[in-house]
Chain A
Amino acid sequence: MEKLTLDKLNIGDTVLIKKINTQGDIRRRFFDIGLIEGTKVTCMLKNSDSSLLAYLVRGAVIAIRKEDLNSIIVEYVGGNL
């Protein structure tokens, strides 16, 4: 089975971060906003062509481009907020 990654969420989905498979700048940026393995995030918004997605992370809503998210493996925990 293919692993679920953060870019594949629908609005309202809440997941736990399992693994961040990326290096360099973007990894640091994820840490800055508090996105680490074990963090709970909820998908909040998508822009008009779903290339930019916004997530609720530790109380703040943060937008990240879709292509930066496919390296983050997540696990579904369910429902709205």
Chain B
Amino acid sequence: MKEQYVVALSGNPNVGKSTVFNALTGLKQHTGNWIGKTVECASGKYNYNGIQYNVIDLPGTYSLISHSTEEELARDYLIFNDIDVAVVVCDALCLERNLNLVLQIIEMNKNVVVVVNLLDEARKKKVKIDLEKLSKILGVEVIGTEARNGKGIDLILKGIERVINNKKDCYKIKYDFLEDVIKEISTELEKIDLKKIDSRWLSIRLIENEIGLINSVNEYLGCEIITDKISKLILKAHHILLDNDIIINEINDYFISKILIESENIASLTVSYNDKKYTEKTQKIDKVLTSKIAGIPLMVLLLFVIFWITLVGSSYPSDLLLKMFSFIGDKLYSLFEYVHIPNIIIDVLVNGIYKVLSWVVAVMLPPMAIFFPLFTILEDLGYLPRLAFNLDRYFKKCNACGKQGLTMCMGFGCNAVGVTGTRIIDSKRERLIAILTNNFVPCNGRFPTIIAMITMFLIGVKGNFSLFKVLVLIIVILVGVFFTFLVSKILSKTLLKGESSSFTLELPPYRKPQVFKVIIRSIFDKTLKVLIRAIVVAAPAGLLIFLLSNISIGGNTILKILSDFLDPFGRLIGLDGVIILAFILGFPANEIVIPIMIMCYMSTGSLVEINDLSVLKNLFINNGWNLNTAICVIIFTLFHFPCSTTCLTIKKETGSLKWTLFSIFLPTIIGVTLCFLVTCMFKFF
């Protein structure tokens, strides 16, 4: 017996595969109610009865007959890696379609454990599944779970242990008239060492003539599998198919239909539906949310409500935190003076690093801590695919993919996540468009900057104008969305010319979000992560600014020289040298753009205590800011080079330095142009 086993987790998209993975390994991987959430293989491990199991979470796929990157990845992983158990997670609500993948994996002759998940949803919709019968028919372990509630996880652990110790004979799809020739090829194949590859499975793939796969198999085995004899047998198989009216081009279809028909038969024997009302209920909600008249307005309204809650909810904690931090800052200063720390070091620590950090925490954190959970609840609910459904007609006009609507929304949370998410788009051209335009929706790290600008210069610090504030914010976002469409369209007509290709978008049933879990998860995973990132970036930035403002060359500090150098250009587009410098230094994290501006302004002028946004506003005004500046800062926040994390992700996803550079220049040029135009308008009126 081995001491370690490898378990591969596969399943259709959106069946709770990630939830099962989390339950098994204790890893907190975010699961959302949309298709293709696991776009990268996560791995984890657990111990059971003294044995270690390594779990690989494969991308969600409908089948293993490759046409997308994910399917190829999942298939190759299952074939070419030493896997002890393949767990296939299924959605109890549409078991029939899920069985397609189950049968394909069983055909590989792996140790299979079928997990029928979402039994709670099935019960609600009065769908009954005879698990015992299913297990008997398939000849594999079948386990029913409600992974979200943690029910059945122990059964999975037991099931995995059982199949390792005792593999049963499992279900075989019979291919009628091909059976004899499949056996002949298998016998022939078994003469070479196939390692873990099943000979019957490989025979079928050879008849299908899947060239990409055959090449990988050759490479893996280190020999040519198609000998003269085998090639003759394949030809024989093709002749038999032709005799049965199946032409070469349709061989694939034959095998796929076979599996689908088997799935249908097995499902009809094991699943019974007792109630149809619930699908009607989902349909009723969908009819409203996607209707001609209400669809788009409801979408904007929802956005409005979310931002309103974020703004109102975050203003009080922000105020409180600012006051608290400024109080602590004073005390720290006195404390350091008291213990005779040299002034210069106190300056670095308190006026440099501490101020930036406390700004990030006080002004950036509350909106994030509210927006993230709200956004995640929307995700869990399953609303985002509907949004993509509504927006597709516009993306179609731009010759882009409707799923870009989904990745665009993911960008609200984080652009890097949005860029990775574009893997759900099959067409390379459309995927590139989605990647290049993702930065046009402001991410969580940029909202607070925009909100701060709106509050200080457009609405006024005092008074309760939160509704108006949200309205302006929505307009800013809509400008970003408008440019997403515009640039997608222009790219489709120029650099990335092409017609939009076909796609399928699943609209999963609405699921009750796990509100409590979402909040906990958002705070511990997202918010803390962002905070740590901000600290990691802000602290050295604070130090750097301090050094730049204290080291002089020829009578001027480096900071002054740099900002003076950038100043003429900055002025031309309604900004100034300091703002440009802040955006450049804020490359690692957009959250620290405003703090850098504050530090730069303070290092040249008098020292102010920022415990109120109105004080900050005065600091900006004293440095020559006006409405023009604020509007241009908003525009530039929306349109400038992506943050470093996003750039690295773009590089990784496109594999091309050229496109990465393009993704940096494209929004920057748009931002500079827009700021220039706005500034010209201000000068004329």
Contact = CB atoms under 8 A, between A and B. Distances in A.
Interface residues of B, number: 46
Contacts of A38: 261
B74 interface: no
Contact of A28 (B65, B257, B276, B286): B65
Contacts of B502: 25-26, 29, 64-65, 68
Contact of B249 (A23, A49, A62, A63): A23
Contacts, number: 122
A65 B503 contact: yes
B654 interface: no
A65 B295 contact: no
B287 interface: yes
Given A32-B62, A48-B390, A61 B260 contact: no
Contacts of A77: none
A36 interface: yes
Interface in B279-293: 279-280, 282-283, 286-287, 290-292
B345 interface: no
Which secondary structure characterizes the binding site on chain A?
A: mixed
A63 B509 CA distance: 13
Given A29-B503, A36-B257, A64-B502, A59 B290 contact: no
Contact of A62 (B264, B296, B402, B507): B507
Nearest to A33: B504
A29 B506 contact: no
A36 B260 CA distance: 8
Nearest to A29: B504
Most B CB within 10 A of own CB, among A36, A38, A39, A65? A65
Nearest to B286: A45
Contact of A48 (B94, B280, B296, B501): B296
B96 interface: yes
Contacts of B393: 47-49, 51-52
Interface string B600-628: 00000000000000000000000000000
Contacts of A54: 286, 389, 507
A81 B280 contact: yes
Contact of B263 (A29, A34, A60): A34
B396 A31 contact: no
Given A48-B292, A81-B280, A34 B100 contact: yes
A31 B260 contact: yes
A58 B96 contact: yes
B589 to A, nearest CB: 37
B467 interface: no
Contacts of A51: 392-393, 396
Contacts of A41: none
A44 to B, nearest CB: 6
Contacts of A45: 283, 286-287, 290, 389, 507
B63 A81 contact: no
B112 to A, nearest CB: 20
Given A25-B502, A61-B507, A65-B402, 6 more contacts: A25-B501, A34-B96, A52-B505, A60-B94, A60-B508, A81-B276
Listed from nearest, the 10 A-B pairs whose CB atoms lie closest are A59-B94, A32-B62, A26-B502, A68-B502, A58-B97, A63-B505, A48-B292, A61-B507, A31-B256, A60-B94
29 contacts: A25-B67, A25-B502, A28-B67, A32-B63, A32-B67, A33-B62, A34-B96, A37-B257, A38-B261, A45-B283, A47-B393, A48-B390, A48-B393, A51-B392, A52-B392, A52-B505, A54-B286, A54-B389, A56-B279, A58-B94, A60-B93, A60-B94, A61-B286, A61-B506, A61-B508, A63-B392, A63-B505, A63-B506, A65-B502
